[in-house]
Each structure stands twice: as C-alpha cells, then as structure tokens.
Amino acid sequence: MNSGLSNQRKQVLLTFGDVLNNYTSKIHGTRALQKYKNWFPIKASPRLAGIVADLMGDGHLQGDPRWRIDYTSKRVAELKRFNNEIKLMFGVKGKIRECTTNIYKTKNLGINNGPLTRVLNLLGTPTGNKVTQKFDIPIWIKNNPACFSRFINRLFSCEACVDSKDRGIEIQMYKSIELIKDGVSFFEEIKYYLSKYYNINTTKPFFENRVNIRKDGIITRVIRLKIRNIQSFKNFQKFIGLEDKAKMNRLDKILGN
C-alpha cells in the first residue's frame, strides 16, 4: 500500500490553466494569478486534504464576486495552526479579528486572496452556506488513504464530539430538509471509507426527530454518525487520531489509557 500512496501523492489536481479558465476575463485572471505561478501544478497531499476538511468544518469560502476565506474558532492557537497550514502550502496568510456578530465569543481568521479561494473551491471545497449547498468528499481524497486519514482527522477535530461516559465518537451535520439525502450521502462515504481503509465501523447515518428553524427561515435537520465499538476506537486512535487535545484525552479515557 505504501508504494501506491507514494504514487497517489504525486497526482496533479490543478494546473495554472485550470484555474485561469475559472476566470471570466483571461486578462484579469492572468494578472491575478501571475505572482502565484509557483503554486502549480497543485498535487494531492495530506496537508491539502486537511485544509479542505477544516473549511468544510469550521471554515467558510465566500464566492463570487468577493472571493474570501474565513476560519472561526474560540482558540487563537487553532486559528494560528490553520494560518500556518495555509502559509506552508501556499505562502500566504490572513489576519485574526474578533467576531462581533455572534454570541459564542469566537475569533475569525480572514484571508482575502481571490486566487487561493478559487483554487480551494476547484479542489472541492464548497462556497457559501454549507447547510444549503450540495457537496461530497472530493474524489482525490477518497481514493488516497493518506489524504483520507488527514481529512477525517481534521473534520473530526473540528466537528466531532467524544463522549467518554457514553463511549462514542459522534459527528453531526445540519442540512436543509431539501438536502437531507445529500447530507446522508456525505456521511455514508465517511462510513464506507473508514471501514475500507482502517476497519473502523460506524452506525448508519441517523436523525433526530425534531427539526430546527433558523433565523433566516431555513428548516434544517441534524444528521448523526457514531463510532461505538472498542476495536474501532483503537483503529481510529492508531490510523487517524484527533488534534484537539481535550477530545483525544477523552478517547484515551474510553480506551483506559
């Protein structure tokens, strides 16, 4: 499997021309991309998969006309970690500011870089409100066990709950009721590849009975997926892990470490 991973990591995902074709005006696109030619060709890697997962979790891509990246957390250290991942991969960085529009006392890392936002969108990161958008796990991540491991590590670090009393690792996703099937499909892919690559077994995706009505009037429902058995916990710890220390400590507690 290692030789296969080595070849897969070399997979070219995007060229300069691919991104240029995403611009309506080739003149404007050439000018915007000129100083980022060193990005290309962009190849599949675990680091890139982790960035996509971060943005599917606690991040947000704003699309046309003002392409922008936002990443939100209560912890400055987490914002700095994500900022460093972007800097190492693409050589650009953002700025941290207080979020004044919510009650959760979070902070936001903003990256005003149109070319990078377009690149991440072309790599499979959704733009706009994820609750009302269709998206799945990009095929270049699904087909590469190393990329998928990093993707799940970051997605679960952002979104999952580890309950040492109930002995479970659970991830949830809210979707508008019109896109419930899309959300279930996303979780079914997680279930399938966790089992295929790492022998980690989960429940089937399931729902709560209640629905939620957001302030904007959109009706949503939460989709849930759980890991429940001890051997799957061990395999998760061995092959994937969690970068959130509190969550990892709770997983250690479940395993009696």
Express each pLDDT in 201-248 by its tens digit: 999 999 988 899 998 999 999 999 999 999 999 999 999 999 999 999
Cα torsion 16, 22, 26, 32: sign: negative
* pLDDT exceeds 90 at position 76: yes
Domains of the chain: 11-127 (3.10.28.10), 160-254 (3.10.28)
Find residue 70's DSSP bridge partners. 60, 110
Q: Residue 124 has what pLDDT?
A: 98
Poorest-pLDDT segment among 97-111, 142-156, 162-176: 97-111
Choice between 9 and 135, residue whose per-residue pLDDT is larger: 135
Measured distance CA(36)–CA(44) in Å, rounded: 18
Would the pLDDT of 127 be above 60? yes
229 close to 201: Cβ distance less than 8 angstroms: yes
Q: Is the pLDDT of residue 8 over 90?
A: no
- How far apart, in whole angstroms, are the C-alpha atoms of residue 213 and residue 146? 38
CB within 8 A of 13, min separation 6: which ones?
Answer: 41, 42, 43, 44, 48, 123, 140
Sign of CA dihedral 193, 198, 204, 207: negative
Half-sphere CA count of 226, side-chain side, radius 13 A = 11
The amino acid that residue 119 corresponds to is V
Beta bridge pairs of residue 73: 107
For residues 46-70, average pLDDT = 96
Of the two residues 240 and 105, the one the predictor is more confident about is 240
Say what the pLDDT of residue 4 is: 45
Residues with Cβ within 8 Å of 84's Cβ and at least 6 positions away in sequence, in order, are none
> What was the pLDDT predicted at 1?
39
pLDDT digits (tens, 9 = 90+) for 10-20: 799 999 999 99
Tally DSSP H helices, then E strands, for the chain: 11, 11
Average pLDDT over residues 58-87: 96
pLDDT for 99: 84
Confidence label for 257 from pLDDT (cuts 50, 70 and 90): confident
Q: pLDDT tens across 150-167, in order?
A: 999 999 999 999 999 889
| pLDDT value of position 5 | 46
The chain-wide mean pLDDT, for the chain, equals: 94
